[in-house]
Structure 1
Amino acid sequence: MKKTKKSLLTLLVLMLSGSVMIAQQQRIEFTEFDLTNGLHVILHEDHSTPIVSVSVMYHVGSKNEQPNRTGFAHFFEHLMFEGTKNIPRGEYAKFVEKAGGTLNANTSVDRTYYYEVLPSNQLEMGLWLESERMLHARVDSIGIATQKKVVIEEKKQSYDNRPYGSILIEVMKRAFKKHPYRWTTIGDPDHIRAAKDEEFQHFYDQFYVPNNAVLVIAGDIEIENARHLVEKYFGDIPSGKEEIFRPTVVEPPLNGEIRDTIFDNIQLPLVLHAYRTPAMGTEDFYALDMLSTLLSDGHSSRLYKALVDEQQIAMQVGSFPLPFRDPSVSITLALPNMGKDVAELEQAMIDEIEKVKNNLIDEREFQKLQNKFENDFINSNTRISTRANNLARYYTYFGNTNLINTELEKYMAVTREDIKRVAQKYFTKDNRVVLYYLPKSQRN
């Protein structure tokens, strides 16, 4: 039973969070340039293994959608595998798999990412595949109808029918009223059903263009040869003809606690606090990230020691900021032990946060925290595919690819006083959404 409970919390964390650990094993050397059509290109040469990662990050996520047509970015994550003008329907993935490679894609609120990892002698094929997707993706009635069914079913399986699957949906629609973060990447199935083929075509024409993308090639390559191949396959793709929609909405302060109860198909209750927080890349974000690690990372963390080990009021705890490009939320949650009251558990969570707000963490604990972040950075960027992702993300989000070499310094610049200050500033009653998840059997 204990293993099942741990697995449950692990699943929740994977559903709600993306890692912000960016590797810093050694200085990552790269070359970057722009094509005349606006495509930004980053090349990273590493001959340690005979593989190459070919990836394209498009600067479009769910926040670029319209309120009555949510889920488009995630829809295209699927549709872009349908095939192209020169690749038969259903054959796209087979090119990679037959060459001994892997491929995938993922969507967030801020960007969409496609990649292949291939034997390095298949670099040219990878570039051809991605250029085909950028220029000739099959956006037609057959593919659209097929993928409508797929994404609607995914919503049912991953959100509607999964215990606690609605957490992010329920949190974000309460934490945000104006900003497009108020909906999640999965979107509304009714919007997908109602959308016409020409709406999907317009979305593709607006966002899946070279001047809204970064191409990263990382691994066993020769820089000049890679540059030549990029020009060959991407140089003639025309720039997008219309202005790319970038939301500029500034969400007003929460100005008061929002509290609600969700009755779900679950057996174990859950208590959740979501605090409104600044955007990733800001000084306060780095301090809040370290604060979340202090609170819940591992058995020696503040919340785990107090709530699980000492008070035995919780079976598991978690705390993590959502690393979004605009101001976001930081989530803290706990699963109560059998027979423990959720209100009592919530107060215990608040008490531990108050300790951080009222007292500096001691030097030994702070040093341990710094060591963990440094160690994670050193050890987490060993894979070529991860480096490619990070290079693309730093450029897309910040226009500064070299943050892959320097962001660790921003974490190391955080002080004990900073951690106390951000706890006082953001982890307040008037700045949080509180949700109790209870079994449907407890509904009056």
Structure 2
Amino acid sequence: MRNVRCSCAITYAYGRARRQVERENINCFQYPTYSSPFSSLSQRFPTPAYSATMSYLLTNCTIYSGTTVLHDHAVLIKGSHVAAIVPEVAAHADIDRVDGRGCNVSPGFIDLQIYGGGGALFSVDPTVESLQKLQAYVRRHGTTSFQATMPTNSPEMMREALQAGHDYQQAGYPSLLGIHLEGPYINPVKKGAHQEEFIQQPATDAVAELLTIGKGALRMMTLAPEVTTPEIVALLRRAGVVLSAGHSNATYAQGAAAFKGGFTTATHLFNAMSALESRAPGLVGAIYDADSAHASIIADGVHCDFAAVRISHKMLGKRLFLITDAVEAGTHGAYRFRRAENRFVDENGTLAGSALSMMDAVRNCVQEVRLPLEEALRMATLYPAQVLALDDELGLIQPGYRADLCLFNADYEVQGTVLAGELVWNG
């Protein structure tokens, strides 16, 4: 065993068996090439067969497993999954090692609402190529799983988004959890930056068509409870789609009924929803009062004050999770955004999305909201996994879970991203 030293954050001890695997004929998309100690190898995403040959220890790091914080321990990765967490002194000397260089290690981040990044804006270009760029972008920021999001748009664009999501998943990319359709069944009063011309009244036939086109790619849908019919709710639930209340002017009673009738989460708490008032608790009040409803929140200090994040965490606890709501600048299509300091706005100056990464959101929750780091990390990992009922395989570092990891330093800079046991970003 030999260590290859480099200026990067991670030092890798190469394994003999891994080096023998032929990867030239992998049938998948080509990723952008980054400078790393792996540059002599193909930058293509590994097939499951390749991952199955891997076995190594991640050492010299502080492990935030999601249930505890461990020092002087190592993560044993076999194939694409975590096999064990062991004391470093008890680790076998003949196992290949990755030196974490003193980094913090958490589960890979899970972003359930992102529109664009890395030069791609899925909202206006819903293609496999956009998903490829978006995936490469989020990996640089520690995110290993995401839902590409399409806001209220034309029926054609909605269909294209679902088809692209289906095609991408069929190609074998585990990062894309599915497509999040944010609309078109929303309340015009709370449309925010959504294009009113594309807002529709719910129609069972139209929803059935989306489900057919997506072939399982439709994972989440944001709807306004007050404009949604029980038939639509039942149809989406039967298809396994997670229903999220958002862009809604629902009364408290309408919101409470929605959370009892099939809605399990809410989209960007406070933004584009009826507020909590003394005589009209609104959708925010219904979210707070529900026993099991989750809610996403954008912790950038722009979409909502950090004090509002802190108060909401006190109210919701593990039901509050982080999203980025990130967009990319664009000058064509229905959604044209420009960056305005730490946010994106549309042509009318309406707040349209964030310039946030998930690592930024975690840092803000620690430094501004004043939450413990381990809890901020759970808001970006375990809690979103629970929303999609994937918390038996994602969101924790423990035996049997997929080896999705984020390595970051004390300055909240991502130093490495591991997906299914494979280093896919080396900072």
Q: Same fold (TM over 0.5)?
A: no
From the two aligned structures, give the one with the greater strand fraction. Answer: 2
TM-score normalised to the size of structure 2?
A: 0.26
From the two aligned structures, give the one with the greater helix fraction. Answer: 1
